[in-house]
Amino acid sequence: MLLGVKRKDNRNTFTVSDPTLILQALVSLKDTRVLEYRRDRAVQYLRVWQIVKDPLCPGCGGRAWVKDRVEVSYIDLPVYGKPMRLVWRKHRFWCPRLDCQKKSWVGTDPMTLARTLTATSR
Give domain status of residue 112, yes or no. no
Question: Considering its fold, how many domains does the chain have in total?
Answer: 1
Residue 62 lies in a domain: yes
Query: What is the per-residue pLDDT across 19-42, written as a single tens digit (0 to 9) for each?
Result: 667 666 766 767 788 888 888 888
- Report whether pLDDT(2) > 60: no
Domain containing 43 equals 31-106
Residue 99 lies in a domain: yes
Q: 54: phi > 0 → left, psi -120 to 50 → alpha, else beta; which? A: left
pTM of the model: 0.63
